[in-house]
Each structure stands twice: as C-alpha cells, then as structure tokens.
Amino acid sequence: MKKITVLGAGSWGTALAIVLANNGWPVNLWCRTQEQKEQMIMKRENTKYLPGVVLPGNITISSNLEEVLTDPSPLCIVFSVPTNAVRETLNKVKHLLKSSTILVNTAKGIETNTLKRLSEVFEDELPGISDRFCVLSGPSHAEEVARGVPTTVVAASSKRKVAEKVQDIFISPQFRVYTNPDVIGVEIGGALKNVIALATGISDGLGYGDNSRAALITRGMTEIARLGVKMGASPLTFAGLSGIGDLVVTCTSMHSRNRRAGIALGQGKDLETVLKEMGMVVEGVNTTRSINKLKEKYDVELPISQEVYNVLFKGVSPREGVVNLMTRMRKHEMENVVLKQVQW
C-alpha cells in the first residue's frame, strides 16, 4: 500500500495524519525539528499541540524531508504548514516530487507579500500543478478531529477526479468529505473567516453578547462573499462548509486561535503580547494585512475587516472600532449579487 506524507506536525497536520492512519494508510509525518521528532517518537504523542492523543503505530515520524518524500514516493502529499511558509516549503521539496503525486493544501490564508491565494503560490512554484492539486478546508478544529469527533470538510479542485480521489483517501465514519470545483471560493472562505473570528473575539473580550457576535458573523459572511465573488468565486460556495460552516465554528469556539487572540485584544492586551502568549501562529493577523490590500485592489467595501486592521495596526481602540461600525452610513441589507455556480 502506498504511503501518504504529511508535511507539518502542528495540530492540524498531526490530526490529519491520525485520520489517515485510522483509515489504514501508512503515513509519514514530517516535523520541522529533530527535537520535536524525538519527543513524538518517544511519547507517541504531540504534547505541544495535541496533548493526550496517542499517535497510531502506522505513523512514521521524521525530520528528514528527502526521506518522507522518496521512501517510497507517496501517493499524496498533504501540506500543513503556515501560510507564509508554503512557498518556502515548496522550494525545498519540489525537486523531490513525482509528477503523479497529488498535492493537498490545508493552510488557510493569503500570501502576505504577493496577495496570492495559496493555489496560485503552488502554481508559481510548480507550473501545471492544478491538474493534481486540491484544497482541504471546512469547519474542523484539530483538537476534535484528532479525537474522532464527527467532522465534515470539503475537497476543492479544478479537476473532479482529483477532488474525488482526495475524498476517497480521507473519508471515514468520523470524517466526511464533500467535493467542490470552486477552489477560489473555498480558499477565500477559509482565509477571511479568521479575520472575522478576530472581530468576534474582540467583541467577546469587550464583554458584548450573543447579539453582537451574531451580527459580526452574519455581516462578516457578507464581506467574505463580496470579496470572493469579485475574485471569481461562486457565492453559493459561501453557504457551504468552507463558508458559513468554517466561519461559525471559528467565531464561536475556544479551540479557535483567532477568536482567543481577539478576546485578549478586546480585554486590552496589545498585539505583540497576545501573539507571544499564544505561542502559535494566528493566521488571521497576517490575513488582515492582506485583506486590507485586496479590498483596495478589487474595490470592495469590507468594513469589519477594515476595523480589525485599524485595531491591530493603526492604534484604534476596540471600543472605538465598534462605534465606527455601528455609526456607518445607513445601508440596505440586500445587495444585488449575480448568482453563478462554478462547475467542472
């Protein structure tokens, strides 16, 4: 049986390795450091990211990239590294990749320097990769996935057979996978929900209630769809798992790093302190920078994202940001959006 390689032993990479191993696949899990490798081999547990979850015996842990990519060549490679490490990782491994290997990206963000979606980053480094590239996204906290809590996600690819192959590889009684041809929509939904989660966290940190959170989630979904459609996505995608599904779970769960960071900001902590105390990547922070530029590039109005940017980087207080949102010009809720559906 061919192996599957997972690049990145953070919480999500480890959780997906467990899903794959429980499906019977031999899995190579790549760690960035020798220290983490030794700790995980010794304890059969990722104590930093998923304490208390035992790693199945068919997961082989390594810190050697060449080893996990060539011994033997994997059927599928899952990239589970932070957004701004994707291009660097691709540069390190692209000379080792076979043309038949399916590549699955699980990071949710926009590359800060280029404002590119991650599928575009893959295409930059590996021209023609769209024929074997897939995005795996949806409402899926690693802490629950690793423990077998029923979860549903979406596999998005421009090639139906690739999406269905990834579906076959990952699907299980605990991990249901749907397919979708709308790569743009799935990527934008996965990236922008982190910015809205920062906003809902800030609201919670200020002591506001369910009304405020519901308003931010609902109007945040409008912003995500507004930008996504301008970038070529189908608005229907945002009613699905990678849209409203991922947004709700990220804005309401304490598993969400972005929500927890937002809560700390709302309680009065500065960004530097928050990130230091988190000790893990908070994707929404860099995504907020990117979205502030994308809204100008595509000439779209994203008031919630703008206020999150102002709080993070412009010295605006969280309470002032709320006042700015609540006192904007009067609007009609419904907007004229041309419905279209991306198809294979």
Q: Are 15 and 59 in contact (CB under 8 A)?
A: no
Backbone angles phi, psi at 71, to 5 degrees: -125, 75
Task: Categorise residue 253: left if φ over 0, alpha if ψ from -120 to 50, beta otherwise.
Answer: beta
**CA gap 324, 304 in Å, rounded:** 10
Q: What is the rounded CA–CA span in Å between residue 329 and residue 344? A: 41
Cα separation of 182 and 44, whole Å? 37
Find out whether 226 and 236 touch, Cβ atoms under 8 Å: no
Give the separation between CA 298 and CA 281, rounded to whole angstroms. 27
DSSP state of 56: P
Question: Among residues 92, 193, 269, 331, which one is catalytic?
Answer: 193
The number of beta carbons lying within 10 Å of the beta carbon of residue 225 is: 25
The rounded distance, in Å, linking the Cα atoms of 216 and 318 is 14
Both structure tokens of 106: 């699980």
Is 165 an active-site residue? no
E strands present in the chain = 4-7, 27-30, 45-46, 50-54, 59-62, 76-79, 102-105, 133-137, 151-156, 175-180
- One-letter amino acid at 129 equals I
**Tokens (6 digits) for 6:** 């997972």
* Concatenated DSSP letters of 124-151: HHSTTGGGGEEEEESS--HHHHTTT--E
Q: Which residues are catalytic?
A: 193
